[in-house]
Structure 1
Amino acid sequence: MDIKQVRDITVIDFDDKRYLGISCDSCGGIGTKEHDVVKASLHLVAYQTGKVALAELLSLGFSPFLLADGLAVEMDDTGNQLIAGFRDVISRLKTAKVHLTGSTEENIPTVQTSMGITCIGICEKDKLKYKKTRAGHVCMLLGLPLVGNDVVNNPDKILDIEDFEILYLSNLIKEMLPVGSRGTEAELKDLCKYNNLGFAYNENLSVDLTHSGGPSCCCLAVLEEEKIDEVKKLVKKPSEVLGHFVDKQ
């Protein structure tokens, strides 16, 4: 069995026509417990954490079918509230039915919210959105890189799971790459590296390229220049064209 790492996804050669994809994410210190650093509703914490792992799969072309949560909290009542958040985020997907499973900590009292999640999806091999970028394509940042309390306070400025599904379904998008804790610039460098390309940034960009993207609050999208206006209409969130890809010198 051939297993390889593609960006943040473990890709398994399932059969002649399909890949399995596995994504993971973790979250700690955000919630309603005594020692949580950022206070936020448990529903929101689980929703955004689940969104990250689902978005990673969708961005590479995978249709998710399972979400497994490992909750380092008690079921009653922290776990129940987190599970409600997971159920909410998977219910928003219109093209995938995702099964939810998991476990909680019932032996040791906990004073901080903590969890790890794993998602599994499947993708037709010819639909994998990887190494599809060419010189001349442009790169847009959709959504804004936000983290912590800024995520809680600016829901209209971040990508939601429905946005990722819309982009996943669109044939306008050559490649997608959610921005994580390393920031936009680091993710874009990776995109250039595995496509063996350089990048010419536009002048006077408004976004901080080094700021953490938090729970996949924004996403890099690769497209043809003439499709910019069409892509802006797909996602009603802040967007900015960062520049265009060039042949590596």
Structure 2
Amino acid sequence: MEIKQIRDLTVISIDENRYLGIACDSCGGIGCKEHDVVKASPQLTAYQTGKVVLAELMSMGFTPMIMADGLAVEMNDTGKQLIEGFQEVLSKLSTKVHLTGSTEENIKTVQTSMGVTCIGICDKNKLKYKKTAENDVCMLLGLPLVGNDVVNNPEKILDVDDFETLYLCDFIKEIVPVGSRGTAAELEELCEYNQLNFKFKNNISVNLKNSGGPSCCCLITLEDNNIRMVSGLVNKPVEIIGTFY
């Protein structure tokens, strides 16, 4: 059994035709507890954290199957509210994903904290990795936001159903969710593993060093003749970043 790390996923070859993918994320200090730094509802916190692992899987071509949450909070009532958030984000998908998890019942907690893992499956010929070529265009969908900006600007960030829409588009070659490293770092890695260089478009409006928070935006690569098709896919900010060469 071959196990390898591809971007943020652990990818396991389970037979001649299929991969198993595992995505993980964590979140701490965001919620309604006494020592939470960013105040937000537990439902929203869980929704956005669950979105991250689902986005990471779908962006590589995987169909999510199981989500497991490790909640470092009590079941009553913070845990129940977090579970509501996970159930809501999963309800946005067209595929059924099983939810399981655990809570902390032995120690009183004063800050919201959790880890989330999601497992999916992908046909090997549908893996969205190392597909970008010379003259392809790179676009940024959504805006890189974090913390309170995520809470206050839902219309500017990608939702989980946006990622599902992108993952189902055959003309999109690669999808890269932007995380805490920022857009520039994700783009640099994308160029490196595709063995390409990149020419930035003039007057880019987005700060490419800003954290993408909970997958609030993503990079996509595609042929330039498909650019016009992107604007109708997601009702979020869209910007051309540049071209690969």
Counterparts of residues 10-29 of structure 1 (less than 5 Å): 10-29=10-29
Counterparts of residues 170-185 of structure 1 (less than 5 Å): 170-185=169-184
> In 1, distance between residues paired with 2:14 and 2:231?
35
Please state how far the C-alpha of 1:229 moved relative to its aligned partner.
1.2
Deviates more, 1:222-231 or 1:180-189: 222-231
AA aligned opposite 2:75: M
Aligned to 2:75: 75
Aligned to 1:210: 209
Give CA-to-partner distance per residue, 1:29-55, whole Å, 9 cap, x none: 000000000000110000000000000
Identity, % of aligned pairs? 70
Give CA-to-partner distance per residue, 1:35-84, whole Å, 9 cap, x none: 00000011000000000000000000000000000000000000000000
Aligned to 1:129: 128
Aligned to 1:114: 113
Aligned to 1:63: 63
Aligned to 2:48: 48
TM superposition outliers: structure 1 runs of 4+ over 6 Å: none
> In 2, distance between residues paired with 1:92 and 1:190?
30
Is 2:193 the counterpart of 1:194? yes
Deviates more, 1:2-11 or 1:228-237: 228-237
> In 2, distance between residues paired with 1:120 and 1:218?
22
Give CA-to-partner distance per residue, 1:68-123, whole Å, 9 cap, x none: 000000000000000000000011101x2100000000000000000001000000
**1:233 match: secondary structure:** coil
**1:67 match: secondary structure:** strand
> In 2, distance between residues paired with 1:188 and 1:150?
23
Q: Which residues of structure 1 form unaligned runs of 5+?
A: none
Q: Which residues of structure 2 form unaligned runs of 5+?
A: none
Please state how far the C-alpha of 1:155 moved relative to its aligned partner.
0.5
Is 2:33 the counterpart of 1:33? yes
> In 1, distance between residues paired with 2:230 and 2:171?
7
> In 1, distance between residues paired with 2:195 and 2:18?
26
Is 2:93 the counterpart of 1:93? yes
Aligned-residue CA RMSD (Å) = 0.4
Query: What is the number of residues matched between the two proteins?
Result: 245
Please state how far the C-alpha of 1:172 moved relative to its aligned partner.
1.7
AA aligned opposite 1:176: I
AA aligned opposite 2:56: E
